[in-house]
């Protein structure tokens, strides 16, 4: 397994986008249009990734995309997992969505996806660990945040396994300054000190 930013090759970006489309539509009701929707989603995601990962003239990119790559049986590189990391506000960019407003040193992990046939093999953990290493080493982030669906025990377990816990625990139950960031719908804000 190799962890890295995706190469600026249409094929690898396409694999990232398709993996995300498959994850997005996995929970959607099946219809005859799903494949068409997935193709459209993937095309939009490639364009969005190119835009979000571009360096600004004096600022970091909106996010860094990481991929877990493994050779397929033919020896070609295959993206088996992916995620994005937003740099902290202290790096001169805008405040990352998902990070509590008063935390300028917090990075944000999102879009964590592992291909269904590769789940349970450590790819998600490896991606999250690499994201934490990158955020600390490159951006001097002090914390990393992520949201997880309240009912997604598997994803919650992966985050907790690499050191994330409920952000409310770090606040001593005082969440007044973090309203809106602690829950997005039925999601729980997690935090990891770096």
Token couple for 62: 């909106």
44 vs 67: which has the higher pLDDT = 67
Superfamily covering domain 2-193? Gcn5-related N-acetyltransferase (GNAT) (3.40.630.30)
At residue 110, the 3 state secondary structure works out as strand
Reported pTM:
0.81
- Side by side, the strands of the sheet bearing 64-71 are 2-4, 64-71, 77-86, 106-114, 143-149, 187-193, 165-166
Q: Indicate the average pLDDT of the chain.
A: 83
**Which residues sit opposite 145 in a β-bridge?**
108, 191
Q: What pLDDT is attached to residue 187?
A: 84
**Which residues sit opposite 85 in a β-bridge?**
64, 109
191 vs 72: which has the higher pLDDT = 191
Please check the confidence at residue 17 and state whether its pLDDT lies above 60. Answer: yes
Question: What is the distance between the alpha carbons of residues 47 and 17, in angstroms, rounded to a whole number?
Answer: 9
- What is the DSSP pairing of strand 77-86 with strand 106-114? antiparallel
Q: Which has the closest alpha carbon to 3: 94, 129, 116, 92?
A: 129
Q: Are 148 and 188 in contact (CB under 8 A)?
A: yes
At residue 124, the 3 state secondary structure works out as helix
Per residue in 58-116, pLDDT tens? 777 888 889 998 888 898 888 999 999 999 999 877 889 899 989 999 999 999 999 99
4 vs 190: which has the higher pLDDT = 190
**193 φ/ψ angles, rounded to the nearest 5 degrees:** -75, 135
- What is the DSSP pairing of strand 187-193 with strand 165-166? antiparallel
Q: What pLDDT is attached to residue 155?
A: 92
Question: What is the distance between the alpha carbons of residues 7 and 60, in angstroms, rounded to a whole number?
Answer: 18
């Amino acid at each position: 397994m190799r962890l890295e930013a995706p190469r600026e090759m249409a094929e690898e970006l396409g694999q990232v986008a398709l993996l995300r489309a498959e994850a997005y539509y996995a929970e959607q009701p099946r219809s005859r249009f799903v494949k068409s929707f997935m193709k459209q989603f993937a095309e939009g995601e490639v364009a969005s990734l190119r835009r979000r990962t571009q360096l600004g003239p004096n600022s970091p990119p909106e996010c860094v995309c990481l991929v877990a790559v493994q050779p397929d049986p033919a020896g070609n590189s295959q993206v088996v997992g992916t995620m994005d990391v937003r740099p902290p506000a202290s790096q001169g960019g805008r405040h990352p969505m998902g990070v509590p407003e008063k935390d300028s040193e917090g990075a944000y992990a999102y879009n964590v996806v592992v291909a269904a046939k590769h789940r349970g093999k450590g790819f998600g953990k490896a991606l999250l660990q690499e994201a934490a290493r990158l955020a600390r080493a490159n951006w001097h982030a002090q914390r990393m945040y992520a949201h997880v669906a309240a009912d997604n025990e598997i994803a919650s377990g992966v985050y907790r396994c690499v050191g994330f816990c409920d952000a409310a625990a770090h606040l001593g139950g005082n969440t007044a300054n973090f309203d809106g960031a602690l829950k997005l719908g039925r999601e729980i804000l997690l935090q990891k000190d770096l």
